[in-house]
Copies of this chain bind each other. A is one copy, B any other.
């Protein structure tokens, strides 16, 4: 019996394969950590050939960076400066709640205590994207330092709520976490 049209289309679609590889990469890095995760294992979970992973992402390090970079957050930065803190906070927390970003974040933490260079590359990629996005919103001279402090706040909240996952920060509603994170980001962005 031939496969239904939609399934055949899907598996032939390069964008769908790319997404499948990124999803498999996030799950594998989070489960095994950066060092133990292999391209072979990621390809197997994504249901694609090893060569395709290398064709799309060239190296495990690049794949890790692509899988972990929270690109939607950066896209959501664009808009008015006054509303920026809440846009960033809700975009970040919502993606963490869905589990999508939480896996990458745990993988980042795990790799940061073993192989620092990968965690640094990832942070560098995120930082550059964030600074570029921030500059579209504000002509602030202090943009780089502000982006650093925004990242520090988001990392600290994520560590408490999703990695240690204990205590009041883990018990709060997503809305309360967004409100409290927004307050902190307002201080960074608006002084």
User: Which residues of A pack against B, CB within 8 Å?
Assistant: 33, 106, 109-110, 112-114, 116, 119-120, 123-124, 127, 144-145, 148-149, 151-157, 159-160, 163-169, 172, 180, 183-184, 186-188
Interface of A is mostly: helix
**Chain B residues, Cβ within 8 Å of A180:** 145, 149
- Please determine whether B184 and A127 come into contact, CB atoms closer than 8 angstroms: no
Contact of A164 with B127 at beta-carbon distance under 8 Å, contacts A106-B113, A159-B112, A184-B188 already known: no
- Which of B110, B149, B168 has a CB less than 8 Å from the CB of A148? B168
Q: Are B166 and A123 in contact (CB under 8 A)?
A: yes
With A148-B169, A184-B187 given, name 16 new contacts (CB 8 A): A33-B113, A109-B113, A110-B114, A112-B159, A120-B166, A124-B167, A127-B167, A149-B184, A152-B153, A152-B156, A152-B169, A155-B155, A155-B156, A155-B159, A156-B157, A187-B187
**7 shortest interchain CB distances as A-B pairs:** A156-B156, A152-B156, A110-B113, A187-B187, A155-B156, A148-B169, A120-B166
Q: Which residue of B lies closest to A144 (CB)?
A: B168
Output the least CB separation between A81 and chain B (Å).
17
* CB pair A168 B156 closer than 8 Å: no
A159 to chain B, nearest CB (A): 5
Assuming the contacts A113-B109, A113-B110, A188-B184, asked whether A160 and B164 have C-beta atoms less than 8 A apart, the reply is: no
How many whole Å from A143's CB to the nearest CB in chain B?
10
13 contacts between A and B (CB under 8 A): A109-B159, A110-B114, A113-B113, A113-B163, A116-B165, A119-B164, A120-B166, A124-B166, A127-B167, A148-B168, A149-B169, A152-B153, A152-B160
By a CB distance below 8 angstroms, the chain B residues around A113 are 33, 106, 109-110, 113, 163
